[in-house]
Chain A
Amino acid sequence: MTSRIPFILLAGLIGSFLLITALGKEVADLDIRVSIPRTPTGKTFLNFPPGQLFRCDFQDLQRIDLKLIQQGGEREPELVLELRRVPEDQLERFASQPVLRSAKMEWTGDGKGPDWAVFRFDPVPNSKGGLFHLRLLPAQGRELSNWAPFVSMRSTLGTFAPWGPVVRTQDVQVEFQSPFWDLACLAFGADGLDAAAAHSYVDLFEVPEDGSEPKLVRQGELHHQGPIASGYAFFLFDPIPESRWKRYRAVLHMPKNGRIVGTDSGPAYLAYHGLGEVSRELVGQTLGPNLLPGRDLIFRAYGEDGLPSNWALLKKRGASGRFLLALVLWSLAAGLALHALVAARSQRP
């Protein structure tokens, strides 16, 4: 009869190696988690650079990833990231702070995206507790880059219609039934919409079920005061508390040369409900010198890493015991499995 002990020890070694390497890998210290990132802000303009204000509660900030998509045929120029430290009492003057770090883009995807672009730089000492601003600019001082970051509204997504190849140049309208309370924002897919050049707004009508005349209930203003090229235009209004199950018609009044995309069925749009609170670490997205609260770029930030740091994080979350117990159980199970296959042979007369 073969002893089980060597197999369990072997499995313990394999398991320990896997656990240690898993804890040694980088872990994002700040992570905007949105699967199926639907809403690119549009191509990146030198004069209207998108950015994000955030606080670090970790040391040695050294890497920032942004979710990007390539909107157009040309890959060049890529983007550069500028990082600034912003004193807490100068939040509104974030754009005028000196550049602390600058980094080139490393594209991790194998196509046009969406995927992560990585920006690495020398670790920022004493980053913990600091307020930072990241900003994306076209490389080589060019006016425009086809790379577009994604934005995430701090709210619940309701109804939506997909992006498509059909372009509409006149005012567009959509009609939908709201599944949730607090309808607060509508976003339209725009091939081109220069909000900096002309006023654009959305009239929101409630459509009564009895067939009577729709009633104007809100007017939404464009959140993003800059040119939008192949991105979403967000129109915010005061939340409608009793919106659930009500039917709405939204009419987008477009400026001259505005181009809204969609499918044959209608324009691409998304409806958002409620504007929730998020962690204090996220201050909000920026566009040029303006802060756009209530939304964030989809990004993740990395600081000090490695086994000790991640183990400390597990301990903080009360999960270190779970991992040790899982390692013991896994080693026993794997060891017994390896033994079971060998033992069958050793039983041979």
Chain B
Amino acid sequence: MSPDAPAITLRNAWAIAVLALLHGLVYFVLLPHWMGEDEPWHLENVILVSDGYGLPGGYEFKASDRDLAPLSVLQARRRFGHADFETISAVERSILDSMRDKGYWRRVDWLGRDDSVESFDEVEYAITAAHQPPLYYFVTAPLLWLFPHAEARFQLLLVRFFSLFLFMGVVLCTWYAASRAFPQGPGAMLTTLLVAFWPMSARGAAVVNNDVLTRFWVALAFAVAAYWLTRPDSASASAEAEVSNESRAQAHIGTANPALLAANSVSHAEVTPGSGANPARSRALRRWAPAAALVCIAALGLFTKTSGASAAAIVIFAVLLHPSSWKRMRGTALLLLGLGAVIAAAASVWIASHNPGVTLNLKDLATRLKEGFSAENIADLRSTLIGRFNWESRPLTPDWSPAIGLGALILFALGIAGALLRRPWLRARLFWLAFGTGAAQLILMAFRGVSRGRYLMPVAPALALMLVVGLFALLPARWQRPVAMLFLVALVTFDGYFVFHGLGREAWLNWRW
């Protein structure tokens, strides 16, 4: 790594974490209660898990049960079978009371004009989070134990704080991966700042939603894959490594990003008693430990949300791109077998929980793909990626999404050129990892038939990396820094516009009858 690229040190990590924290707090402060998409449903799940109803109870509702409770309650009961109708209704009522007090109904355009609602059905009909995989709710539920009698609004804020820290984790993972991808120049820092300052990315710092945990797992997988693909024993690294301080960077991996400590400590397994007795085994462990860690992270992603499947895509692309994979087919086969088992287990959980993201009907899949790539869906994706407010009911004005979308497409294309031209400031292998990850997520989204910017956010680090490669692709090295500075000024200004002209105005000024 050349001296003008920021080293992977604890000091730099702190600086970036503080920056992410401050920026995430902006959104935390300005986003009103319940204005993060689907927050009522997700918080309902968190509360029910924290109250001890987390395990499925084997209840399946019948047509006749519809006299007993609203659909939202029936769906929650199907997931949290040990909770009775009254318990679930009470949770919904406490959330609805808080929403009513906070003028929620006046802020969302599509909601009915009557705010005397009695169940989530009347907030949005046939929407539920009861089909979501369980991990996010089990991770966040203990937070509510800290304040067992808190009201729903406070519980929401408590879980939002967790999102803030996850956002910091995402930015740190991005920085780590980008530092491996850009051994020279300002590319690593710019990629990191792009994830930290892209408004719809930063907005995730303040929302109660399993998207935020999914983002973290995918960013972590991306960082571990970047490490695996660029460490010195990788053929890619040896081919590209005109790197003076690689070993220094290695030494800081654990301190810079605690999440990578596990992989790193296993990779130095020869120093631990027992494993040193068999050098071949310890070499194998060292070789495959990051890949095994990747499979574990993919499992965490898959058990958090279906969009966490991009973590599994990262494993596949990392395996394809890693030279050892082709030389040691047995290890590769074992790894892919493990990944297959994890995917199968996760898919069975999704299907068992009636997740609408999954269908085994080919005709349905074809329809979804067609809808997923329809012009209307692409426009929705573009708009929700650039900026929409109040449960995506109000767009950012003026509508810059066509121009920004076109600019991003051009940069992606230039990025491919940059990778093909094998620029010295880029480890092309990581560009292709990012490309595969981004493309896989787009295809996975298309299979859902619904496109939203937040579904693309798990792969924000990969997209940011490609954009920055595109930005620098045709520039002489000396121009990188001034261009990066200009780009950053534009990014920060756009973020400020989003914050004050968009979020601030929509959330606090433009919502009155």
Contact = CB atoms under 8 A, between A and B. Distances in A.
Interface in B129-145: none
B500 A334 contact: no
B139 to A, nearest CB: 26
B19 A337 contact: yes
Given A156-B112, A180-B121, A323 B4 contact: no
Contact of A155 (B5, B113, B499): B113
A33 B114 contact: no
B165 interface: no
Interface stretch (B225-233, B452-460, B487-495): B487-495
Contact of A340 (B15, B393, B511): B15
Nearest to A31: B512
Given A245-B67, A314-B508, A152 B113 contact: yes
Interface in A294-337: 310, 313-314, 317, 319, 322-323, 325-327, 329-330, 332-334, 336-337
A65 B241 CA distance: 63
A317 B501 CA distance: 17
B500 A18 contact: yes
Interface stretch (B189-197, B295-303, B324-332): B189-197
A333 B23 contact: yes
Contacts of B117: 156
Contacts of A276: 112-116
Interface stretch (B25-33, B214-222, B411-419): B25-33
B510 A330 contact: no
A273 B71 CA distance: 16
Most B-side CB within 10 Å, residue of A154, A313, A329: A329
Contact of A157 (B112, B197, B496): B112
B320 interface: no
Nearest to B125: A179
A336 B15 contact: yes
Contacts of A282: 513
B23 to A, nearest CB: 4
B500 A329 contact: no
Contacts of B393: 33, 35
A334 B496 contact: yes
- Of residues B26, B106, B493, which shows the largest number of chain A Cβ atoms within 10 Å of its Cβ? B26
A161 interface: no
B366 to A, nearest CB: 21
How many residues of A sit at the interface, in one of the four size bands? 35 or more
A22 B3 contact: no
B160 to A, nearest CB: 14
Nearest to A294: B113
B380 interface: no
Contacts, number: 180
B492 A11 contact: yes
A317 B3 contact: no
Nearest to A332: B22
A216 interface: no
A325 B512 CA distance: 23
Instruction: Label chain A's interface by main secondary structure.
Output: mixed
A179 B193 contact: no
Given A11-B492, A156-B112, A330-B496, A341 B485 contact: yes
A330 B26 contact: yes
Contacts of A21: 500-501
Contacts of A50: none
Of the listed residues B19, B106, B108, B393, the one surrounded by the most CB atoms of chain A closer than 10 A to its CB is: B19
A209 B71 CA distance: 18
Contacts of B495: 330, 334
A349 B3 contact: yes
A27 interface: yes
Contacts of B485: 338, 341-342
B513 A341 contact: no
Interface of A: 11, 14-15, 18-19, 21-23, 25, 27-36, 152-158, 179-180, 209, 244-245, 273-279, 281-282, 310, 313-314, 317, 319, 322-323, 325-327, 329-330, 332-334, 336-338, 340-342, 344-345, 347-349
Given A333-B23, A344-B4, 9 more contacts: A179-B126, A275-B114, A323-B508, A326-B30, A333-B26, A333-B197, A337-B193, A337-B196, A340-B19
Interface of B: 3-6, 15-16, 18-19, 22-23, 25-26, 29-30, 63, 66-67, 70-71, 106-110, 112-117, 121-122, 125-126, 186, 189-190, 193, 196-197, 393-394, 481, 484-485, 488-489, 492-493, 495-497, 499-501, 504-505, 508-513
9 contacts: A31-B511, A35-B110, A279-B513, A319-B508, A322-B508, A329-B23, A340-B6, A344-B186, A347-B3
